[in-house]
Amino acid sequence: SQQGEEDPQALSIQEGENATMNCSYKTSINNLQWYRQNSGRGLVHLILIRSNEREKHSGRLRVTLDTSKKSSSLLITASRAADTASYFCATSQRGSTLGRLYFGRGTQLTVWP
């Protein structure tokens, strides 16, 4: 399976700290996406970065993409307890015309008040 792999599997930090999660993948991509999943809920899209982009921001989120290393990172600045969730990266494989996404196994982020 050509899925992304997140690292670390679990991350525990205090409120106000920054949280960094990494994603590695194996194939050439069209884009890479990050999703968030609160416990017992569906996934929610956070940000999409295209293969020709290197960095993207959305509020407290910063995503970087290094296609030479086939890796991406998600930085959440000034974390809040409400950021506690699982975070998944998903890749859109180059050559795929069907909109298919390949998901990693996720990083469980816990932010303590």
Partner 1 sequence: NAGVTQTPKFQVLKTGQSMTLQCAQDMNHNSMYWYRQDPGMGLRLIYYSASEGTTDKGEVPNGYNVSRLNKREFSLRLESAAPSQTSVYFCASSEPGQGAGEAFFGQGTRLTVV
Residues at the contact surface with partner 1, assessed by CB under 8 A = 1, 3, 29-31, 33, 35, 40-45, 48, 50, 88, 90, 92-94, 96-101, 103-106
CB of residue 16 vs partner 1: minimum separation in angstroms? 29
Nearer to partner 1, 90 or 111 (CB): 90
CB of residue 113 vs partner 1: minimum separation in angstroms? 26
How far apart CA 25 and CA 28 sit, in angstroms, is 8
Q: Which residues of 12-44 are buried (b: 16+ CB within 10 A; e: fewer)?
A: ebeeeeebbbbbebeeebbbbbbbbeeeeeebe
CB of residue 77 vs partner 1: minimum separation in angstroms? 22
Determine contact, residues 34/88, Cβ cutoff 8 Å.
yes
Nearer to partner 1, 15 or 66 (CB): 66
